[in-house]
């Protein structure tokens, strides 16, 4: 009888302590887990459940001053990771263990081009850092114009492009284990499909083991061999993907699965005869050429081209499309954060000639925005209390009323009002996103521009926030422009869906029509690429690998 090979990663009874004063004593408690060679294990759970802490321990990335292992064992390929010094850990990381972090902007060096960073990663572990090798890796990530991408700095790339650069760096040295911490959170559905297929191809061709942390059960359904469910630092359930998804045993697992949005559009709420809140006609925007010191000027980039859009009171319109399609640019123009080049902009029947017109005393509360990256939108020196109440007090609301409104909104988005004295860094990424939403609602806007507001949230909190937005829309007549790459979220929240590609809106229709019978080829491609989607219709042949970057 052939003996089974030992696991690549073996964790036994692991306890990881939190610093004194934390809500609980252990970040991870009594964790036991094995990952075999070539196996894809997905860890799911809400923010703060210990998923990322457990993954960090495997690669020796625990911050020693904040978290420490107090019990148990952890080995990689038979070697005790807990006993390795920093020099040995550095040789392990990158070469044998690749790590994809949740927020690519914080993982990339802002002072180096993407190509230079990938080159340094290769050379640090004895691989060729040639321009051809760098371009080949970028091409394998399906990045447009790989040679040009390598010359760009992180801030010049879209969120999805930055994530693909980070993934290229993680797999550059052909590791045996890839730890992926929410690697597809910032990606549109077609790019997400490509990355998932790529990871599975690497598993098949080289026996790559994958520890995949995600809150997206669609991704789990597509990629996992086994699933591990964590709650409050403990593993509460584990099993094969087929068994656990079909018959979850633990109530917490059932709760998470019940919160997953599907492609079933909600009943429309918007009324065709409701007053028009926003009307855009022939909006155009080109990013002007930038000249580097001693270098050639880049070509001007067309971001928006002849965009027409109408939003009525009480309507939620979801704007969907791939990274770089112009969604966020359009949202920033509507919020007054970016000047348009051409076109007509009317807000509540008033002409908006320039972006500054939205920042008068009367108009400032009318349009508020929730940004994709909450951390960069907060002043890190201010408490949550000041971040939420400062603007409304400035607009004339008494401080006691501002406090009451803050407490109500924090409670509704699932944040304890008693934690308002804490600063943004003391919260998880998902918690910061909920605080950002509460801040945007403090001024009780007529139009809310939400740029990927739930992309960083686990499914249960995502469901709470979407329900909150839906209730606010119903109670306040709130109009919402909801920017997202997740068609499941778009279906659950929107009355209308507008599909963008290359700066143009290629299709606008009721959500039910876009999901069930899209007219444009591009919209059909997006629907076919939704993770975890079960359909009897084969996807278009270009769904995954043949990208149009024109």
Q: Which of 240, 258, 276 is the last residue of a domain?
A: 258
Q: Are residues 317 and 228 in the same domain?
A: no
Q: Tell me what pLDDT residue 450 has.
A: 93
Q: Are residues 186 and 321 in the same domain?
A: no
Per-residue pLDDT tens for 293-312? 555 555 667 889 999 999 99
Burial of 512 (0-12, 13-18, 19+ CB in 10 A): middle
Q: Are residues 253 and 349 in the same domain?
A: no
| Domain CATH for 347 | 3.40.50.300
Q: Tell me what pLDDT residue 534 has.
A: 46
For residue 477, is it within any domain? Answer: no
Number of domains in the chain: 2
Q: Are residues 44 and 142 in the same domain?
A: yes
Over residues 63-82, the mean pLDDT reads: 87
Q: Are residues 235 and 284 in the same domain?
A: no
Over residues 483-499, the mean pLDDT reads: 91
Over residues 6-27, the mean pLDDT reads: 87
Least confident among 1-5, 141-145, 531-535: 1-5
Q: Are residues 210 and 273 in the same domain?
A: no
Q: Are residues 284 and 251 in the same domain?
A: no
Least confident among 80-94, 345-359, 512-526: 80-94
Q: Are residues 245 and 276 in the same domain?
A: no
Q: Tell me what pLDDT residue 214 has.
A: 87
Read off the pLDDT band of 456 (50, 70, 90): low
For residue 547, is it within any domain? Answer: no
Helix 459-476 to helix 429-441 angle (10° resolution) is: 0
Range of the domain at 206: 38-60+93-258
For residue 252, is it within any domain? Answer: yes
Burial of 508 (0-12, 13-18, 19+ CB in 10 A): middle
Q: Tell me what pLDDT residue 482 has.
A: 95
Over residues 115-129, the mean pLDDT reads: 90
**What is the percent of the chain with per-residue pLDDT over 70, rounded to a whole number?**
92
Q: Are residues 180 and 44 in the same domain?
A: yes
Over residues 399-426, the mean pLDDT reads: 91
Q: Tell me what pLDDT residue 549 has.
A: 27
Cβ pair 113, 138 in contact under 8 A? no
Q: Are residues 161 and 124 in the same domain?
A: yes
Q: Tell me what pLDDT residue 76 has.
A: 94
Tokens of residue 144, six digits: 């447009």
Q: Are residues 311 and 226 in the same domain?
A: no
pTM of the model: 0.77
In angstroms, the CA 403 to CA 94 distance is 48
- If you average pLDDT over every residue of the chain, what do you get? 86
For residue 214, is it within any domain? Answer: yes
Q: Are residues 337 and 222 in the same domain?
A: no
Closest to 140 (Cα-Cα) out of 185, 205, 219: 205
């Amino acid at each position: 009888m052939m003996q089974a090979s030992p696991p690549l990663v073996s964790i036994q009874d692991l306890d990881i302590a939190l610093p004194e004063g934390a809500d609980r004593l252990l970040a991870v408690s009594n964790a036991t887990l094995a990952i075999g060679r070539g196996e894809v294990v997905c860890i799911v759970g809400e923010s703060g459940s210990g998923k990322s802490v457990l993954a960090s321990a495997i690669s020796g990335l625990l911050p020693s001053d904040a978290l420490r292992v107090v019990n148990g064992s952890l080995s990689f390929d038979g070697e005790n990771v807990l006993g390795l010094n920093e020099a040995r850990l550095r040789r392990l990381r990158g070469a044998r263990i690749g790590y994809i972090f949740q927020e690519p902007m914080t993982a990339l060096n802002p002072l180096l081009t993407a190509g230079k960073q990938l080159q340094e990663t290769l050379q640090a572990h004895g691989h060729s850092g040639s321009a051809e090798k760098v371009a080949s890796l970028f091409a394998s990530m399906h990045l447009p114009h790989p040679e040009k991408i390598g010359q760009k700095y992180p801030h010049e790339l879209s969120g999805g492009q930055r994530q693909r650069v980070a993934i290229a760096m993680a797999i550059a040295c052909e590791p045996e284990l890839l730890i992926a911490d929410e690697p597809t959170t910032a990606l549109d559905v077609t790019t997400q499909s490509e990355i998932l297929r790529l990871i599975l191809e690497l598993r098949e061709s080289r026996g790559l083991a994958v520890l995949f942390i995600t809150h997206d059960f669609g991704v789990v359904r597509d990629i996992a061999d086994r699933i591990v469910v964590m709650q409050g630092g403990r593993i509460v359930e584990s099993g094969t993907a087929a068994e656990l998804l079909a018959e979850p045993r633990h109530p917490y697992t059932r709760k998470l699965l019940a919160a997953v949005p599907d492609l079933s559009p909600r009943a429309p709420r918007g009324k065709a005869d409701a007053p028009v809140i926003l009307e855009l006609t022939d909006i155009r925007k080109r990013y002007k050429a930038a000249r580097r010191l001693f270098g050639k000027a880049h070509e001007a980039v067309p971001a928006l081209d002849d965009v027409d859009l109408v939003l009525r009171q009480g309507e939620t319109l979801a704007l969907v499309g791939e990274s770089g399609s112009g969604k966020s640019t359009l949202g920033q123009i509507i919020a007054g954060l970016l000047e348009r080049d051409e076109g007509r902009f009317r807000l509540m029947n008033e002409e908006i000639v320039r972006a500054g017109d939205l920042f008068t005393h009367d108009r400032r509360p009318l349009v508020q925005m929730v940004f994709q990256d909450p951390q960069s939108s907060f002043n890190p020196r201010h408490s949550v209390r000041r971040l939420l109440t400062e603007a409304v007090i400035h607009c004339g609301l008494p401080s006691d009323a501002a406090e009451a409104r803050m407490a109500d909104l924090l409670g509704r988005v699932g944040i304890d009002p008693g934690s308002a004295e804490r600063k943004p860094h003391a919260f998880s990424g998902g918690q910061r996103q909920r605080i950002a939403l509460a801040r945007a609602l403090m001024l009780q806007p007529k139009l809310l521009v939400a740029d990927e507001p739930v992309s960083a949230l686990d499914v249960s909190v995502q469901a709470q926030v979407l329900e909150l937005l839906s209730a606010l829309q119903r109670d306040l007549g709130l109009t919402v422009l909801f920017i997202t790459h997740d068609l499941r979220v778009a279906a659950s929240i929107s009355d209308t869906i507008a599909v963008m590609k290359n700066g143009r809106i290629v299709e606008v229709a009721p959500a039910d029509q876009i999901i069930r019978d899209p007219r444009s080829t591009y919209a059909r491609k997006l629907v076919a690429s939704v993770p975890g989607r079960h359909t009897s219709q084969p996807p278009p042949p270009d769904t995954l690998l043949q990208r149009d970057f024109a």
